[in-house]
Structure 1
Amino acid sequence: MKRNVYLNMKSIEAARQIMFDQFPGADESGAEDIDSVDALGRILAEPAVAALSAPNYHAAAMDGIALDAKLSFGASDDEPKILVSGKDAFWINTGHVMPEGTNAVIMIEHLNVIDSVKNGSSNGSSIEINSPAFPWQNVRKMGEDIVATELIFPRGHKITSYSLGALIAGGVFRVSVKKKPKVLIIPTGSELKSWQYANDNGLKPGDVIDSNSWVLGALCVEYGASFESHAIIHDEIEIIMDAVREATLSSYDMVFIIGGSSAGSKDYAKPVIDSLGEVFVHGVTMMPGKPLLFGKVNEKPVFGIPGYPVSAVVAFEQFAGPLLLKMHGLNPAAKQRETIDVVPARKIASKLGVEEFLRVKIGSVDGRFMASQLPRGAGSITTLTEADGIIRIPPHVEGIAEKEIVKAELIRPLAAIEDTVVITGSHDNTLDLLADQICRTRPGVTISSSHVGSMGGLMAIRKKTCHVAGSHLLDPEDGSYNISYIKKYLPGERVWLVNLVMREQGLIVAGGNPEKIKGLDDLKKKELVFINRQGGAGTRVLLDYKLKELGMTPADIRGYENEEYTHMSVAVAVLSGRADAGMGIYAAAKALSLDFIPVFTESYDLVIPDRFFHTEKIQVLLETIKTNDFKKRVGELGGYGTETTGEAILLES
């Protein structure tokens, strides 16, 4: 089949306007009557009018005596009044019906019973009062909260947990609500496998687990809709066409075709919609999500959702989601996120002509919210799960300068971001373990770590964009770690150097070591491919130091220029066969069942500016690393020593 060609790509605003214009009656969906107790989250299709008053009788609001207020007029400390219980005063408890002829309650603590109590009760006793009551004092009058026939909620109101109480108290036991829009999700692609298949049979190279159906289905629920997932359809246009035709002729209000929305020869979403109905937009100037398309089949909206996970989410949130809200009788902007001003930790490049949704981690450092960008890949769902917010870069902007203040939409609550420890620098597997251990013992404090190498971490401290830097920079002159670099690159900064772990660095090689690599000097074999860490990484500094000791140069190693940013990325490169060897830590090799050739034992430290050291969240971090539970878990990773974990020295450079 020939390749599709994008129609003229539209901006987000223009494409969204086309969508709403093509479905003007989307908010006129039908209604259904349901029990009020089942209406949480639903939208009223008709007004809710009270059938009962609440309360439906005059009720005492305090424990004490009920009386006709005028009997108390004139009472004072000098001239108290005496009432007789059962005659002109009636003992009453909170919530009870006021006796006929009474209109006030005097609290029990303001009474003085002056006659003896008969038979364990106060009936017939004389009661002294020293101040008058006014009419309806300490009484909940009939209809004080709700009056029968009054409007409780108008049509279009979203029922909350509080709303349920008002409806039931007002005698509204059935309500008319908007029907939930019903979505059919059709995953397509010959490479797709269900999670059940993957669980039972495993995956072979080229297989992809269908996670998009579940993500989009959950989003539909969050936006007030219900959903069903069609069985996975391979790249067969006739079967896809039959599924879409059947769905749009049945009870579904919207259809998603996942995958096949781009311009490849196996991308069938556009020809399917074109054949059955009309395509309105194919291609939107946004990243991720550019291949989005939508049209109409049998008067129903049909979306071609890109197959990359982040693209799918962005396409939903910008288009399908707002249309679902409109169908449900809500403002399409009802899901807009809170925004805050943030400062990028580094310059951010972007393309002109495309609005980019950049996922970022955010931390509060020195009174500023610092944003560090996550990888931009549209296929990396973890860039959403790890993100604290999203920076939208407009199509007319070519990048964001370092320290430029921009808006970020929050994915996580602001309070959680305030309690986040921002760690920048060298990667180590124990940082993930530390984050989990803190969540176990001190919920509320979290860790956000970004991996830019040891030198990058020290520069982040210098630029005041983090709380902590992870570092393992070897001084080849004296064999010490980090101290000389701190003095050189952080002049005048008081910092604490805290040991996190001692760890083994070495060569990560394939399981069974098929190339029989024994040490660094074997890397001179030209048939071997090496994977390196990025410039500025402590591991790179250590490698260069050891190469110099061996009389080797970078030119001796094939692949020296190939870089990764974490130890686990190096290990994956070896596991996948992209490289024969890479420099990294033992824990990374062990995690992926690879072989490891020890080269050096080094100190991995945390560098903490003194102004942060005594803050609550940093003290939580330091207390956690000293616990036996944390040290035990570190030991289970392999290749680590915790004998000096938690030891700290103050450096004044």
Structure 2
Amino acid sequence: MQRAYIENNDIKIFEEYLAKVKRLGFEEIDVADSLGRITYEAVFAVKCDPMFNASAMDGIVVVAEKTHGANDQTPLTLKKGRDFEYINTGYEIPSKYNSVIMIEYVQKIDEDTIQIVTPSHPWQHIRVKGESIAEGEMVLPSMHKIRPQDISALLASGNGKIKVYKRPKIGIIPTGNEMVSDVKDLVNGKLMESNSHMFAALSKELGAIPTRYKIVNDDKTELKALLKKAVKENDIVIINAGSSAGTKDYSREVIESLGEVFAHGFAIKPGKPTILATIDGKQVFGIPGYPVSANVAFNLFVKPVLLKLGANKDTYKPQFVKARLTKNIVSSFKNIDYVRVSLGFVNDTLVATPISGGASRIMSLVECDGLITVPRTLEGFLANDMVDVELFKSLEEIKSRVVVIGSHDLIVNILGDNMPLVSSHVGSLGGIMTLLKNECHLAPIHLLDEETGVYNIPFIKKYFKGQKMALIKGVGRTQGLMLKKGNPKNIKSVKDLARDNVTFANRQRGAGTRLLFDYQLKNNNIKTDEIKGYEKEFTTHLAVGVAVENDIADVGMGVRSVAMNMGLDFIKIANEEYSFLTYADNLNDERIKKFIDTLKDEKVKEKILSLGDYTIDGIGDVEIIDC
């Protein structure tokens, strides 16, 4: 069924596509190699287990009827060969005997003589033939995923070989002139091709056999030749990238030249330009190139097909929890929106914070704790709404973490490597607003009051009137101008930023660095519209440094430690304190106690100092502020 480009299909039509998928046939393999495979048919016992009457204990074999009357007062004396024989666990019971007495209850008199004080009964401590598995008994049903214990039962029942469904072979074709397959080839203008590795890993988790092909340039002839080869060699094929509307997006055109496109475009975000097709009866997918879109499309469309091909059952049972949303989520009736969130428990309430960044930000997949699905019937959710979140991490792990939202600094990464911590970078004022709403435990801040020139305290007293607050001392650091190595624009001070040939990388509104920069502009009588690039905002010091390093900007405001680590020049503007704000009552929270202890840890201090340009005098000290 050929469709017009680009559609907005309801995801429900995928069921029609999936219904046409046929399971693969079987192969016979060694039982010892069958872990995780799916049984093609029911498996029956070829042999009994055990195949004979076997001793279940180390001891002696006797005739039970001849042991009656034995007790502590009148021990029964037995002679080896006449009345008993020694036997070990698993050994066959001689036909003349019908009971086993454990060695612990046998008193040895000499090499051939023993005494017992407890009588036995028939078949005591004996595994009778077929007790565990009887010949002809079903050991495993069909369509069963083989577990370690199943392998043991299969072998015990005399099965050395087993018929299992074939594992689906999936071919993965990455595309794009700008892509490279080796990190050594990463230079300006080139991107690392990593999606194929993600697809391969996801496929292996589902029991499939992935083949990653070489990167195909944006060339129709080259793509068509490789696609024909991949279809021949695999049961299912993915073309990654080239499914959208770019001038060099050839996936649909090439697929249609070899087969049939079932659908192109779905009412989902991210992942809209996904292609479903068939070539020679095999399923072929065009998957968007952005990592988040690729991940979503794979799980929605490719995963169910792989599971069905291999007769595999999806054992993943999503766990949903209710959480309070910290920000508005704006959606559209056009799409189902899949929104990645970080989670934290604050005052015994689970809060969900949407993770910023679009479909290209692969770290959002790494950072996310859960997923909110916004149906097409809604235009989003409002802050403070209670929403359903699909969990990707355990509630125990989430409960153990301290939630840190506010200003960015490299030391937060160090702290997060040494204790359970989740962070979000929204700027100092953003952190204060989040703390006011009880949506975080700690707000990192470094706010300069323009009127007094004092850091942090004026803002704390302004926003937390009537509250008792605690300011946990962090680090001293240097703010200044980060410049490309060699300072090619010969920038000497903030005044030079007003020149027409200078482009600035700014921080977001509410960031302490942004307030400091505005304070510097005011002191130098420079208007914001005189600064080229003032409107372009970056959310971290690292992002500003990258912008300068890659000629997106000539200069940006940031901390010296980032400049040093990135090899940038630096002009000092001010010294400041980067500290952590919380409610005084939170000092009793075990997570906050752990946070303070981590700040004071000698190894953590060493790591902080190794970044350069930090001072740690009084780090972890607490100042109580009555507002």
Q: 1:385 to 1:103 in 2, by over 3 A?
A: farther
**Structural mapping, 1:105-124, within 5 Å:** 105-107=100-102, 111=105, 113=107, 117-118=109-110, 123-124=112-113
Deviations 1:127-178 (A, max 9, x none): 223xx55554544444333223211111111112232222223222211111
Deviations 1:388-440 (A, max 9, x none): 1221111121111122222222333443323332211111111112222x1xx
Give, in angstroms, the shift of residue 370 of structure 1.
1.7
1:340 to 2:321 alignment: yes
1:231 to 2:214 alignment: yes
**Structural mapping, 1:215-614, within 5 Å:** 215-248=198-231, 250-331=232-313, 333-436=314-417, 438=418, 445-476=419-450, 480-491=454-465, 493-610=467-584, 612-614=586-588
Give, in angstroms, the shift of residue 571 of structure 1.
1.3
1:173 to 2:160 alignment: yes
Give, in angstroms, the shift of residue 521 of structure 1.
2.9
Is contact 1:469-1:607 (8 Å) kept? yes
Number of aligned residues: 624
Secondary structure of the equivalent of 1:357?
A: strand
Q: 1:541 to 1:300 in 2, by over 3 A?
A: same
Give, in angstroms, the shift of residue 284 of structure 1.
0.7
Give, in angstroms, the shift of residue 528 of structure 1.
2.3
Is contact 2:186-2:192 (8 Å) kept? no
1:203 to 2:187 alignment: yes
Inter-partner Cα distance in structure 1 for 2:97 and 2:554:
93
Deviations 1:188-241 (A, max 9, x none): 22222222xx51x44242x22222222212222222211222222222212222
Inter-partner Cα distance in structure 2 for 1:365 and 1:311:
31
Secondary structure of the equivalent of 1:417?
A: helix
- Which position in structure 2 is the counterpart of 1:624? 598
1:8 to 2:7 alignment: yes
- Which position in structure 1 is the counterpart of 2:76? 82
Secondary structure of the equivalent of 1:152?
A: strand
Secondary structure of the equivalent of 2:414?
A: helix
TM-score, normalised by the number of residues in structure 1: 0.88
Give, in angstroms, the shift of residue 475 of structure 1.
4.2
Q: 1:479 to 1:70 in 2, by over 3 A?
A: farther
1:647 to 2:621 alignment: yes
Q: 1:102 to 1:394 in 2, by over 3 A?
A: farther
Moved more, 611-620 or 211-220: 611-620
Deviations 1:56-95 (A, max 9, x none): 4444445555545555556667x66535363545555554
Is contact 1:359-1:376 (8 Å) kept? no
Is contact 1:105-1:139 (8 Å) kept? yes
* Match 2:608 to one of 618, 634, 652: 634
**Structural mapping, 1:151-170, within 5 Å:** 151-170=138-157
Secondary structure of the equivalent of 1:578?
A: coil
Q: Equivalent pairs: percent with the same residue?
A: 38
Unaligned runs of 5+ in 1: 439-444
Is contact 2:6-2:273 (8 Å) kept? no
Is contact 2:275-2:286 (8 Å) kept? yes
Inter-partner Cα distance in structure 1 for 2:91 and 2:589:
53
Aligned residue identity for 2:243: S
Inter-partner Cα distance in structure 1 for 2:386 and 2:526:
46
Deviations 1:434-458 (A, max 9, x none): 222x1xxxxxx53211011112222
Aligned residue identity for 2:344: G
Q: 1:101 to 1:422 in 2, by over 3 A?
A: farther
Deviations 1:293-319 (A, max 9, x none): 121111111111112122112111111
Give, in angstroms, the shift of residue 97 of structure 1.
4.4
Secondary structure of the equivalent of 1:296?
A: strand
Inter-partner Cα distance in structure 2 for 1:552 and 1:153:
79
Inter-partner Cα distance in structure 2 for 1:350 and 1:124:
88
Secondary structure of the equivalent of 2:380?
A: coil
Secondary structure of the equivalent of 1:329?
A: coil
Is contact 1:495-1:650 (8 Å) kept? yes
Inter-partner Cα distance in structure 1 for 2:237 and 2:260:
14
Inter-partner Cα distance in structure 1 for 2:394 and 2:240:
30
Give, in angstroms, the shift of residue 620 of structure 1.
3.6
Secondary structure of the equivalent of 1:164?
A: helix
Aligned residue identity for 1:193: V
Inter-partner Cα distance in structure 1 for 2:60 and 2:587:
61
Give, in angstroms, the shift of residue 477 of structure 1.
5.8
- Which position in structure 2 is the counterpart of 1:43? 38
Q: 1:297 to 1:502 in 2, by over 3 A?
A: same
- Which position in structure 2 is the counterpart of 1:34? 29
Secondary structure of the equivalent of 2:397?
A: helix
Aligned residues: CA RMSD: 2.7
Inter-partner Cα distance in structure 2 for 1:366 and 1:136:
62
- Which position in structure 2 is the counterpart of 1:17? 15
Give, in angstroms, the shift of residue 567 of structure 1.
0.8
Inter-partner Cα distance in structure 1 for 2:206 and 2:177:
30
Secondary structure of the equivalent of 2:517?
A: helix
Is contact 2:45-2:157 (8 Å) kept? yes
Q: 1:342 to 1:143 in 2, by over 3 A?
A: farther
Aligned residue identity for 2:136: T
1:213 to 2:196 alignment: yes
- Which position in structure 2 is the counterpart of 1:184? 171
Secondary structure of the equivalent of 1:125?
A: strand
Deviations 1:438-496 (A, max 9, x none): 1xxxxxx5321101111222222222222222122234566554344334333455543
Aligned residue identity for 2:569: D
Aligned residue identity for 1:6: Y
Aligned residue identity for 1:82: L
Is contact 1:18-1:280 (8 Å) kept? no
Is contact 1:358-1:376 (8 Å) kept? no
